[in-house]
Structure 1
Amino acid sequence: MKYKYEEVIEQIINWAITGKYKPNEKIPTEYELMSLFKVSRHTVRKAISDLESQQYIYTIQGSGTYLSDWKQNNLYLKKTKNVGVLTTHISNYIFPDIIKGIESTLYDESFSLLLSSTNNNLMLENSNLRNLLAHKIDGLILEPTKSAYQIHNLEYLNSMISQNVPIIMINATYSAIKTPSLCIDDFTGGKIATEYLLSLGHKNIMGIFKVDDSQGIHRMNGFITKCLEKEIPPSSEILTYLSEEVETILPQRIKYALKSKKRPTGIFCYNDEIAYMVLNIAHDLKLKIPEDLSIIGFDDSPISKIMEPKLTSMTHPKEKMGRDAAKLIIKLINNGNHFEESDSILYEPELIIRNSTKPH
């Protein structure tokens, strides 16, 4: 996901590294560069301007553009550093904001981004890690796939570690890999959301949780802990699901629960997408939100603000997490992958109260 002018810059630098053009040797003209890279004149001029400002090249009026004498100018000749970013998703839900934070920070520091996703599929994680290894990346920002399970692709991650490639994890961790992480305090978030439903007088509450990701396990444990603290047995009111069941089994199970004679009056959902699903099913069943059913989501995603009624939800830092992850991976790349426990961040979630909840 490089800008076109960055590709031009990288290639011209690579010409010098490989000796294709020697110091003080003339490089192709603007027109030739446009044809070679299939880019606009504006893109070529941007690349030339940046290279000239950094003294990698110089221009002689009426003659052309030449490579500088690198050694004489004491310039450190190096390729652009590449950071791999592997998340479970890219284009939907909260992930565009996370990636926006990563991308903008990396580009500000002249790092390139290699972006891919796993769709929360272990085989796709396997192939993407293999691909990133082949590209010889300088660092990796990884969102673990099915993080509640035992790690399946340990060999690839260990291979990166053996090559001193820094790895940091976002949203979840693999316990078998000792590396910094940036995560939400999902357990505390689960407790806060459940406490709020109980404070509104809801006694018959249900939790819906994805259990192949550790985030779902932690949020469920927070739900259970708060119910037990209030002496409300939650065991019969927990609905769990796997990633593959979101569009198949899960909607039918939610519908069954909402049609039950003992249907819940309040539901805490794994995330805002599931909360939106609950809301639509409730509408189909002629249940009013929040009069008949209060709903809480998690992540304070864009969905939460466009739902009707707008969704009460736990916060997720999203773009800030992306920026923090990019800053940390740059730091580790520059300092030889030396990290401390204090490099990890555990973000405290907050409850954003909107119109999907009310007293029972």
Structure 2
Amino acid sequence: MKHKYEKVKEEIISWAVNEKYKPHEKIPTESELMELFKVSRHTIRRAISDLAAEKYLYRLQGSGIYVSDFKQNEIYLTNNKNVGVLTTYISNYIFPDIIRGIEDTLYDESYSLLLSSTKNNIMLESSNLKNLLAHKIDGLIVEPTKSAYQSPNMGYFNNLIEQDIPFIMINASYSQVKVPSLCVDDLKGGNIAAKYLITLGHKNIAGIFKVDDLQGVHRMNGFITGCQESNVLLRQDKILTYLSEETNTLLPEKIKNVLKQEKRPTGIFCYNDEIAYMVLNIAYDLKLKVPEDLSIIGFDDSPMATIMEPKLTSITHPKEKMGIDAAKLIIRLINNNNHFSECDSILYEPEIVIRSSTASI
């Protein structure tokens, strides 16, 4: 099934091909396109951004959106620049907020966006990097795939460096390349979660962590350190680890087994809010009450944290702000000929948002 933005793209391409709008003729405004197609502004912007990258449209700042003379491959927007964005996921969880921040900021500065995802798969990262390098990109925003491992795709990143194309990383970074990164202090976030459970009187606590991404490794290490600093013994069988591809296969059974233990944990910290939601459902299946029998903390303070019942205590993630900051930084690096320093990296301070999924023991 096609996405809404893809249907919008197809219709606008047909306008150009059939010369409903001739080369260098202005098409309807964003608001008019929203009304015409009955879709959101985000959908229209995604379609227009793609069409600009594919050379069907171009934008003149302060004037409007125009049809390119694509048949002759002539683009008259001399200042048009393309930024590639490669994330692990696009359409689920917190990623739409991150992408929205990137897209809106790039769009406001007349940059085109080339967006793709790896689904946290190394081979897809390889093919997407290859495709992006085949286009004319002026900069790249990357969320590393399986960032806890050595990347086999360093050849592509070295290619970017050789071509002097600036790129930055979000949510994690590859140790093999030194470029600016924008990340949450995941180590501190895990530490905060452990100490909050302990202040509520929980001594028998557990943690669930995805360990093929650096975020999960850092959150786990912060959680373990928080327990050690509070003189709470954390048993090895209370640390549940999993890989991305095990999320819906092996992980649920691991969670069920630990919650069925005679000395089951009374508090549990989860890699993210999605896993917290999984724990909540498994707890209910086992007739455990949250937070009376089990306190749960998530990470990312995603929209689902406020629609769960009970509402989820969670560690914050800047999401849209990270996207905005990333877009501003890559634009500055493009304009400054890729000159960056260590101070360009950002480490966001996490905080705990306390809701009703946690309580004193």
Amino acid in the other structure paired with 2:335: N
Deviation at 1:228?
Answer: 1.0
Deviation at 1:78?
Answer: 1.8
Deviation at 1:33?
Answer: 4.5
Question: Retained in 1: the 8 A contact 2:184–2:348?
Answer: yes
Residue pairs, 1:179-328, within 5 angstroms: 179-236=179-236, 237-328=238-329
Deviation at 1:42?
Answer: 2.4
SS at match of 1:227: helix
Amino acid in the other structure paired with 1:137: I
Shift of the 164–286 alpha-carbon distance from structure 1 to 2, 3 Å rule, reads same
Distance 2:57 2:147 in 1: 45
Corresponding residue for residue 69 of structure 1: none
Corresponding residue for residue 120 of structure 2: 120
Residue pairs, 1:158-197, within 5 angstroms: 158-197=158-197
Distance 1:50 1:120 in 2: 33
Corresponding residue for residue 350 of structure 1: 351
Output one character per residue of 1:130-158: Cα deviation in whole Å (capped at 9) or x when no partner: 00000121100000000000111000011
Shift of the 259–52 alpha-carbon distance from structure 1 to 2, 3 Å rule, reads closer
Corresponding residue for residue 106 of structure 1: 106
Shift of the 349–35 alpha-carbon distance from structure 1 to 2, 3 Å rule, reads same
SS at match of 1:282: helix
Distance 1:301 1:334 in 2: 33
SS at match of 1:174: coil
Residue pairs, 1:80-91, within 5 angstroms: 80-91=80-91
Question: Retained in 2: the 8 A contact 1:193–1:296?
Answer: yes
Amino acid in the other structure paired with 2:122: L
Which of 15, 25, 28 matches 1:42?
28
Distance 1:32 1:279 in 2: 54
Amino acid in the other structure paired with 1:261: E
SS at match of 2:20: helix
Shift of the 32–282 alpha-carbon distance from structure 1 to 2, 3 Å rule, reads closer
Rg (Cα) greater in structure = 1
Amino acid in the other structure paired with 2:231: E
Deviation at 1:161?
Answer: 1.1
* Unaligned stretches of 5+ residues in structure 1: 9-29, 58-75
Using structure 1 for the length normalisation, give the TM-score: 0.82
Corresponding residue for residue 62 of structure 1: none
Distance 1:52 1:260 in 2: 63
Shift of the 51–104 alpha-carbon distance from structure 1 to 2, 3 Å rule, reads closer
Corresponding residue for residue 43 of structure 2: none
Deviation at 1:36?
Answer: 5.2
Output one character per residue of 1:151-203: Cα deviation in whole Å (capped at 9) or x when no partner: 11000011011101101000000011110000000000000011000000000
Question: Retained in 2: the 8 A contact 1:89–1:119?
Answer: yes
Distance 1:262 1:173 in 2: 38
Output one character per residue of 1:292-328: Cα deviation in whole Å (capped at 9) or x when no partner: 0000000000110100000000000000000000000
Question: Retained in 1: the 8 A contact 2:60–2:77?
Answer: no
Deviation at 1:35?
Answer: 4.9
* Unaligned stretches of 5+ residues in structure 2: 34-55, 67-75
Distance 1:128 1:203 in 2: 46
SS at match of 1:42: coil
Question: Retained in 1: the 8 A contact 2:276–2:297?
Answer: yes
Corresponding residue for residue 145 of structure 1: 145
SS at match of 2:169: strand
Aligned length: 319
Distance 1:307 1:150 in 2: 36
Shift of the 160–297 alpha-carbon distance from structure 1 to 2, 3 Å rule, reads same
Deviation at 1:229?
Answer: 1.2
Amino acid in the other structure paired with 2:175: S
Shift of the 41–318 alpha-carbon distance from structure 1 to 2, 3 Å rule, reads closer
Cα RMSD of the aligned pairs, angstroms, is: 3.0
Shift of the 340–124 alpha-carbon distance from structure 1 to 2, 3 Å rule, reads same
Output one character per residue of 1:232-255: Cα deviation in whole Å (capped at 9) or x when no partner: 222421000000100000000100
Question: Retained in 1: the 8 A contact 2:149–2:212?
Answer: yes
Question: Retained in 1: the 8 A contact 2:59–2:110?
Answer: no
Q: Which moved more, 1:190-199 or 1:233-242?
A: 233-242
Using structure 2 for the length normalisation, give the TM-score: 0.82
- Which aligned runs of 4 or more in structure 1 are off by greater than 2 angstroms? 1-4, 30-37, 39-55
Question: Retained in 2: the 8 A contact 1:82–1:137?
Answer: yes
Shift of the 155–288 alpha-carbon distance from structure 1 to 2, 3 Å rule, reads same
Deviation at 1:51?
Answer: 4.6
Corresponding residue for residue 17 of structure 1: none
Corresponding residue for residue 131 of structure 1: 131
Corresponding residue for residue 42 of structure 2: none
Distance 2:299 2:315 in 1: 4
Distance 1:288 1:49 in 2: 56
Deviation at 1:231?
Answer: 2.0
Question: Retained in 2: the 8 A contact 1:34–1:41?
Answer: no
Distance 1:146 1:266 in 2: 28
Shift of the 358–338 alpha-carbon distance from structure 1 to 2, 3 Å rule, reads same
